[in-house]
Amino acid sequence: MIEQPQRPRPAPWSEVRTNVKRKWTTPFFALEWIFEWFAYFLSNWTFLHVVNYLRTFGILVAVIFYFSESGDRLKQKHYQAWQVINTAQGKGGNGGRIDALQELNEDGVPLVGVDASGAFLQGLRLEKANLARATLNAADVRNSILPSIDFSDADLRSANFRDSNCRGASFRNATLDEADFSGADLSSADFTGATLANADLRNANLQAIDWQHIANIKSANIAGVKNAPEGFAAWAIKNGAVQNSSGSQ
């Protein structure tokens, strides 16, 4: 609150006039003296003090309302993000979905069941996101940052995850047929129950993946895989995987 200090009573004009050294400056001294009296009367006007208190009170009320309505603003923000995602459903391109998905995830909103099939999502950043039962078939998710993401029971057929960071991702029971994971970091990923038929795993990092219960790896290309767990390559070849460095299958 801005304080309104009480000003001292100005000196009488007769006293002020004695300080005037040059006659031509008298009008300026007189004008200043008038303003001093004007300021004196205003500083002692109770109405201005009341206005000052009301202004301070108004600011306080505005701050209280701002924080009390923060929840509604957050809901509106989430509603708009979901509207962007749902409006673009089934369409190609970005359509603002990258920003919408990232904003929702940053606010801790689960993305369970989201449908972004065929979407252009290159460079997407969704750390520790929950996309269980999501549909991203034929989506372009190259060069994305997706560590510890939950893709369990998701439909990721023909999705392009080339050169993406999927460390610690959960692909439990997910459909990954014909998905492109070439050059991707899949270290510590869980593929329990997942199908990887015709998937491209060339040069992917498979360090410490959970692979023993992969449901289907027939015709998957495992050429040049890095840090594969002991026994994985032999098991994969035995179950129909191929090693074709050219990528043609």
Q: What is the Cα–Cα distance from 209 to 169, expressed in whole angstroms?
A: 10
Q: Please give the mean pLDDT across all residues of the chain.
A: 86
Q: Which two tokens stand for residue 180?
A: 């492109």
Within 8 A by CB and 6+ apart from 17, the residues are 26, 29
pLDDT tens digits for 34-77? 777 667 666 666 655 566 666 776 677 666 655 665 567 788 88
Task: For the domain made up of 69-249, give the CATH fold.
Answer: Pectate Lyase C-like (2.160.20)
More confident residue, 50 or 83: 83
| 205 has pLDDT over 80 | yes
Q: Hey, where are the domains in the chain? A: 15-68, 69-249
Q: What is the Cα–Cα distance from 184 to 209, expressed in whole angstroms?
A: 13
Average pLDDT over residues 142-154: 98
Q: What is the Cα–Cα distance from 110 to 104, expressed in whole angstroms?
A: 8
Q: What is the Cα–Cα distance from 181 to 233, expressed in whole angstroms?
A: 16
What's the whole-model pTM score?
Answer: 0.71
CB atoms within 10 A of CB 167: 19
Contact 193, 172 (CB under 8 A): yes
Contact 200, 223 (CB under 8 A): no
